[in-house]
Amino acid sequence: MGTTRWAGHRLPGVLAMVVSVLVTGCTTPTGPTPSSSAPTGVTSTPVTSTSQTAPSPSATSTTGWPAGVVTPFRTTEAGSATGKRIGLISPDATDPFSRAVTDSIIAETTTAGAALIRCDPGADGEFALECAQRLSNQQVDGWIVQRSGWMPGNSLCGAGPRTVPMIVVDGPPGPCTTATVTADDSAAGRLAGSHLGEYSIHDHDCRFDSFILITDPTESAASTARAEGIREGFRQSCPDRLEMPFTTAPGTTVAPPPTTTDPSQQSASSSAAAERARVTVVDTADQKAVYDAVQRAIGAQPDSGRILIAAVSDGPAFTAMTAVRSAGRLEDVRLVAVGADQRSRCEIAGNPRWLGDAALFPDRYGELVVPSLIDAMAGRSIPQAMLTTPQFVDVSTVSGSYDVSSCPENP
């Protein structure tokens, strides 16, 4: 089936409306549980299981919404939604992650044979409501909303289709949401942190001079979950090296205080604190600020100082590595991140200082969103909150998930 595009709009700066795959529902969810076997019309094909796959995560539930259920990617059966109309509200994202998610949803909708009606609101909340209103007049059988950060979900629910299923991707549920799909951010952080910790304990017995954590205030919930996961994962290998919580002013360097107020133990405690690495938290979405903060933190260390960097996403991680190169400190730095999107893959494949990423597979989201929506449209139960499974990829495994044959040896 084809994709329909809505051209033009009265609001300045708003991109065109495009027909895409989406299942929308504005009926209050009744708490479905996951099926014990693959539903009719789809074949279960989970992400390859390896020792680098995240353990079963414990997702934090939102108020009135169940904790997430780890749900495998599935193969969409060709023609399984022939004759159906799916609506999709998603911005024409400039970041690689969101763009990969949208492309994956569109591809899986095409495979399913559904007519996809896509509306692109950009960053305009008012136009997002118009998108929902237009979908309600298009007789869609279901709809998908990606990154519904424009406004509260109940506003979209009031404007959009009210009797068909709706799946929200990487956004909070509204009263009409049938299901949500998002990454398990805590598990992804733990994967990244544990691999950085394993490197540290094996390479230099957890002795290093600086730990730089790069977070993102624009994605506060995901960023916080990933940052805490990084800390937890790292402490599994190096439990006494990072006692400070990862919360401080942007770009501030802090050291943990003594852990006791007993004068007889102050000296030993102060000595132990001195052995712990200083933690620099860079909490900004501005890439120049990331670059400058990383250069300052590196410059404060001796020429031979060991420096560890962890980032909650690939954009700032790539910027941090650029700052490391400019400072001439590649040999002293080891980095991990969360995402494994297009920006990081060549670094992982060819730069031994980039130890790897907790991959979130945005290019496969459609393999979960679209089959689940088709199930819901057919009246089959799906989990209300679905989590994708992160997997750590490094130089030895990245080529198993992505084509890195054209990457330079030393990016």
**CATH code where residue 163 lies:** 3.40.50.2300
State the pLDDT confidence band at 123, using cuts at 50, 70 and 90.
confident
**pTM surpassing 0.75?**
yes
Query: Which helix (DSSP H) or strand (DSSP E) does residue 239 occupy?
Result: none
- Pair 257, 325: CB distance under 8 Å: no
Q: Where are the alpha helices (DSSP H) in 88-140?
A: 96-112, 125-136
Tokens standing for residue 317: 């991680």
Strands 252-254, 278-283: pairing kind? antiparallel
The one-letter amino acid at 22: L
For the segment 140-192, what is each residue's pLDDT rounded down to a tens digit?
Answer: 999 999 975 555 567 888 899 989 999 999 888 888 999 999 999 999 999 99
406 located within any domain? no
What is the average per-residue pLDDT within 340-360? 95
Q: How many CB atoms lie within 10 A of CB 398?
A: 24
Q: Which residue in 21, 8, 7 sits closest to 135, CA to CA?
A: 21
CA dihedral 15, 340, 181, 215 (to 10 degrees): -80
Same domain for 306 and 196: yes
DSSP 332: G
What tens digit of pLDDT does each residue of 223-232 get? 999 999 999 9
Domain count, the chain: 2
Verify that 193 and 121 share a domain, yes or no. Answer: no
| Whether residue 103 is found in the same domain as residue 197 | no
Q: Are residues 99 and 220 in the same domain?
A: no
- Provide the domain limits for residue 214: 185-359
Q: Does residue 299 sit in the same domain as residue 325? A: yes
